[in-house]
Amino acid sequence: MRYQSLIAYQKSFLLAMQIFEVSKTFPVEERYALTNQIRRSSRSVAAAIAESYGKRKYPKHFINKLTDSDSENLETQTWLRFALECKYIDNGEFKRLMDESTQVGKLISHMIRFPEKFGSK
């Protein structure tokens, strides 16, 4: 199995791409603030899952990288809340992206609880 086959990776990558598209509509004055932050944190979710898979032979390292991914996912949710409150996205878009992020969080939590299912010993 490759890390690209992990559902958590696939969903987190897709979410990062959706956030990238949505954030294109944010005001130009947010380019180095909210836009940059939300793009970076959402991309870090998938990147940390990939890193964790590379460390799967070492359970503590595997779980450590997964908790990093989970933290980045929560950061992304915070930036989504800012985008909603600043009226850069509407309630429907916010709910859709938050639901996707919540699903990713559940998948990451499953990997943390059952590392042996992912090749960690």
The whole model's pTM is what?
Answer: 0.95
33: Cα within 13 Å, side-chain hemisphere: 8
* CA distances from residue 11 to 17, 26, 42, 105 in whole angstroms, order as listed: 10, 23, 11, 10
71, two tokens: 């933290």
Q: Given pLDDT bands bounded at 50, 70 and 90, which one contains residue 119?
A: confident
**What is the average per-residue pLDDT within 32-56?**
97
pLDDT at position 37, please? 98
pLDDT at position 1, please? 79
pLDDT surpassing 80 at residue 48: yes
CATH architecture of 3-118: Up-down Bundle (1.20)
pLDDT surpassing 80 at residue 85: yes
pLDDT at position 121, please? 75
11-15, 27-31, 43-47 — which is least confidently predicted? 27-31
pLDDT surpassing 80 at residue 120: no
**What is the average per-residue pLDDT within 110-114?**
97
**Amino acid making up residue 24:** K
**What is the average per-residue pLDDT within 60-72?**
97
Average pLDDT across the chain, whole number: 96
**Amino acid making up residue 97:** L
Q: Where are the domains of the chain?
A: 3-118
What letters, b where the CB count within 10 A reaches 16 and e where it falls short, cover 46-63? bbbbbbbbebbeeeeebb
Residues 83 and 34: beta-carbon distance below 8 Å: yes
